[in-house]
Structure formats: structure tokens, C-alpha cells
């Protein structure tokens, strides 16, 4: 019987994770409200099962309500935070807290009624409402603390395990569910006289749940989500959308936010997309490098050959940037003769190699009307070494661009200083792209 209960325990955990992650995965199609509603409606059942429903496992007596479903809910809240942001994740935290206070308040008001007993076998159980009310208030308060704690601990662990998202996920679960087991069992022991032996069984079950959820999180994160399997799983409505307006809509969306002269994305698009690109790279435990590219002495080109020729030079620079950068990178026109490239999954050393290749390519292929080479200066900064927000990294790159100009232009400046200067004749060694 214990072996069967253990198998069912694992099946319940897997089924819960698969269902909830599916709703979370397709939140942009279904709406985030579907996931949040599914997360909230089980709270009463979790509390009820934790109070009265226990099964025997090889390591003790446990409640699936507490060990599987409540543990899963807490890990889902952490996953929601990882894929969205703090402003989104606070919605279920506050919603569950306030919603359950409302539920308990209504239950207390109902006890003022004099209910009818319509059947001799089913009398209204007011004591049950009282017990469940206190447990739900206590459990929801713990969930509020657990949710804040698991997010803060996950972020703090980033100081030590920046590129170990799964390890941080599991450590956070171990610590906060241990805290939760202590807090919730204290209420069970006080209100329902649950024996102390149940504490250890429940704690071991929650640790097992974290291992199961951590393993499934790793599989999803590295095998499914990164491959973007949802791009191929298209519904019938999407097919009909493609046959009518979808292609024209996507074309219009793609052209929105483009710089009319060079064809690259403009500054408005940069302010929308670049912070998301940097944040997503850091969330995956990767670096993101930002380059600021500025055409040297561009005013002389405009003054000497006219603005139309200056426009031709800018378009040539943008074309070289587009062909040299990789498909995962984004290039934006920052203003005038300045461009910004955002390169996710690129560390600082790789970013310097890429910048040097850009500098060399432009210096050897872009010319003024009289055949003189056009050169660029480039500042390079990387998240998270130079900051964790796009604005901070961009500011660091801008400071290094200024240093490149002070160093004589036609060079790349990174964290350690000038990488190369005025040597367009030789291609960069080990350049990526």
C-alpha cells in the first residue's frame, strides 16, 4: 500500500506540474487569467486535504494537499516571477491573501444564520467552518510570506550561482518549504491536535516534491522552452489567421519601429525591446553585451560631400552591421551617426571580438566619395558585470565610447581599456559571427 501511495504521489506531482506549466507556457494565447484562476481555485482543497486527508508513504504519513499541491503552487509562483516580473507575480500573492480573508469573513457571517437541517444525515457543520477558517487565514498568511521569501532568496542566490537557475530554484524551494512546514504544522498541531510524527513525514514529502518539480523545471527550461516548441504547435484559429490577415499583420508589425533611412530598428523600438532582451538573457543565466558604434568625423562627411552622401555612408554602415551581427542580435539607430547593438548570450570577451570585427569590416569596406575609409569608434559593456539593467549597461558602454574618441577614434574600448586602434588592414583574429 505504501508503494502504491508513493507512485500516486509522484503521478499527482507530475500531473499538477504539467497542467500548470502548460497554462503558464501558453499564457500569451490563453491569457494569464487562466493560469491565475487555476492557481487560486485549489487553495481551499489544499487546506482541507492538509487538515484531514493523510496517506502512508515509506517515510511517513503525509497529506498530498500540503506536500504536492501547496508545494507546487509555491514553485509555480516562483516560475511566474522568472518568466514575467514582480508586478505580475504580486497579483496572485495579494489576490490569494485578500480572497481568502474574504472567504473566511463570509464564513463567519454565515454562522450567524440559523440554518435548516434538510436531511437527518447531513447537518451543517459550523465547527468545520471555524477550523477551516483559521487554517485558511494562517495558511494564506504563510503563503504570502513564502512567496516573498522564495523570490528574494532566489535573487540573493544569484550572487553565488548566477548561471545555475535550476540549483537556485531547488535551494529556494527546500528552504521556504521547510519554513512553511514548521509554520503550518504548528497550526495543525494547535487546532487539530495532529501528532508530531506527521511533521517529519510531511517535511520529507515536501523535499521530495521540490526534487520532482526541480527535475521537471530543468527538463522544461532546457528541452522545451528554449526550443520554443510552442511555435510549431499552432491551433486551427492560427491557421485561418495565416490564410487571411496574419501575414500582413506580421509584416506591418515588423516594419513598425524601423528607421526610415537605414532600415534598422529605431530608438523607440530599442527602448521597448532592449531591456527585455537583457533581462531574458540574465534570467537564463547568460550574459548580454551592448555595443555603441559611432561614425568618426561624420560631420566632415556631411560638410564636405553633402547630406545625401552622408546618408549613403550611414546606410552603408548599417548594412555592414546587419551582415556582420548574428541573427540573435538586434541593431538600433540611436541617433544621428550612432548605432546600438544588443547581443544576448554574448560575454564581454566575445563582445570585444565582435566589436573589433565590426570596426575592421567598416574601415575596410565603407568609403567616402573620394575613396577615404570611414571608421567607427565602439564602446562595449556587458550585463551582468557592468550592471543588470539595459540602462546601466548602455551608460557604461557610452562612457567607453567617449574614451574611444579621446583615444584617437577608430578603436574599441571595453572594460580593460582600448582593444585595438587604427589597424584596418589586418582582419581580427578569432572574430565571431
pLDDT tens digits for range 408-423: 999 999 998 887 655 5
Q: What is the pLDDT of residue 296?
A: 95
Helical pair 32-41 and 43-52, crossing angle rounded to 10 deg: 20
Are 89 and 148 spatial neighbours (Cβ–Cβ below 8 Å)?
Answer: no
Q: What are the grid coordinates assigned to 266, written together? A: 529605431
Q: Is 90 exceeded by the pLDDT of residue 298?
A: yes
pLDDT tens digits, one per residue of 355-390: 999 999 999 999 999 999 999 999 999 998 999 999
The domain spans of the chain are 2-112+125-230, 248-421
pLDDT tens digits, one per residue of 60-117: 888 888 899 989 999 999 998 888 877 788 888 888 778 777 877 777 787 788 777 7
- The arithmetic mean of pLDDT across residues 292-312, rounded, is 93
pLDDT tens digits, one per residue of 36-50: 888 888 777 787 787
0.95 surpassed by pTM: no
pLDDT tens digits, one per residue of 397-408: 999 999 999 999
- The arithmetic mean of pLDDT across residues 123-130, rounded, is 66
Q: Is 60 exceeded by the pLDDT of residue 251?
A: no
In angstroms, the Cα distances linking 93 to 39, 76, 79, 190 are: 10, 11, 13, 26
Q: What are the grid coordinates assigned to 63, written together? A: 497529506
The CATH number of domain 248-421, selected from 3.40.50.2300, 3.40.50.150, 3.40.50.300, 3.30.70.270: 3.30.70.270
- The arithmetic mean of pLDDT across residues 242-249, rounded, is 46
Instruction: Tabulate helix, strand, coil % of the chain (nearest 5).
Output: 65, 10, 25
Query: CA nearest 289: which of 139, 202, 415?
Result: 415
Q: Is 90 exceeded by the pLDDT of residue 310?
A: yes
* Burial letters 376-391, b for 16+ CB under 10 A, else e: bbbbbbbbbebbeebe
Amino acid at each position: 500500500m505504501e508503494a502504491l501511495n508513493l507512485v500516486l504521489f509522484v503521478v499527482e506531482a507530475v500531473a499538477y506540474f504539467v497542467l500548470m506549466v502548460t497554462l503558464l507556457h501558453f499564457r500569451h494565447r490563453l491569457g494569464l487569467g487562466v493560469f491565475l484562476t487555476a492557481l487560486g481555485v485549489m487553495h481551499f482543497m489544499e487546506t482541507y486535504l492538509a487538515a484531514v486527508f493523510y496517506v502512508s508513504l515509506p517515510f511517513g504519513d503525509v497529506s498530498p494537499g500540503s506536500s504536492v499541491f501547496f508545494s507546487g503552487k509555491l514553485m509555480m509562483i516562483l516560475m511566474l516571477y522568472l518568466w514575467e516580473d514582480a508586478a505580475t507575480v504580486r497579483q496572485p500573492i495579494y489576490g490569494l491573501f485578500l480572497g481568502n480573508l474574504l472567504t473566511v469573513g463570509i464564513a463567519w457571517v454565515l454562522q450567524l444564520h440559523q440554518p435548516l437541517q434538510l436531511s437527518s444525515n447531513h447537518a451543517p457543520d459550523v465547527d468545520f467552518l471555524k477550523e477551516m477558517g483559521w487554517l485558511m487565514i494562517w495558511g494564506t498568511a504563510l503563503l504570502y510570506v513564502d512567496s516573498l521569501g522564495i523570490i528574494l532568496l532566489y535573487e540573493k542566490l544569484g550572487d553565488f550561482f548566477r548561471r545555475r537557475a535550476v540549483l537556485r530554484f531547488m535551494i529556494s524551494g527546500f528552504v521556504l518549504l521547510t519554513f512553511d512546514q514548521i509554520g503550518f504544522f504548528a497550526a495543525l498541531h494547535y487546532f487539530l491536535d495532529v501528532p508530531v510524527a506527521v511533521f517529519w513525514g510531511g517535511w520529507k514529502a515536501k523535499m521530495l516534491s521540490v526534487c520532482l518539480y526541480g527535475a521537471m523545471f530543468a527538463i522544461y527550461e532546457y528541452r522545451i522552452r528554449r526550443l520554443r516548441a510552442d511555435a510549431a504547435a499552432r491551433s486551427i484559429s492560427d491557421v485561418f489567421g495565416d490564410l487571411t490577415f496574419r501575414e500582413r499583420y506580421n509584416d506591418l508589425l515588423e516594419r513598425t519601429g524601423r528607421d526610415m533611412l537605414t532600415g534598422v530598428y529605431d530608438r523607440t523600438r530599442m527602448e521597448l525591446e532592449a531591456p527585455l532582451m537583457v533581462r531574458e538573457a540574465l534570467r537564463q543565466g547568460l550574459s548580454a553585451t551592448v555595443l555603441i558604434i559611432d561614425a568618426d568625423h561624420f560631420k566632415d562627411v556631411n560638410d564636405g560631400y553633402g547630406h545625401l552622401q552622408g546618408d549613403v555612408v550611414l546606410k552603408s554602415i548599417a548594412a555592414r552591421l546587419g551582415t556582420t551581427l548574428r541573427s540573435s542580435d538586434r541593431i538600433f539607430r540611436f541617433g544621428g551617426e550612432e548605432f546600438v547593438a544588443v547581443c544576448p548570450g554574448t560575454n564581454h570577451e566575445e563582445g570585444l571580438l565582435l566589436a573589433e570585427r565590426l570596426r575592421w569590416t567598416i574601415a575596410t569596406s565603407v568609403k567616402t566619395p573620394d575613396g577615404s575609409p570611414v571608421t567607427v569608434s565602439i564602446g562595449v559593456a556587458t550585463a551582468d558585470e557592468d550592471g543588470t539593467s539595459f540602462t546601466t549597461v548602455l551608460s557604461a558602454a557610452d562612457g567607453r565610447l567617449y574614451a574611444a574618441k579621446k583615444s584617437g577614434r577608430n578603436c574599441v574600448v571595453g572594460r580593460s581599456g582600448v582593444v585595438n586602434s587604427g589597424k584596418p588592414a589586418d582582419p581580427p583574429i578569432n572574430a565571431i559571427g
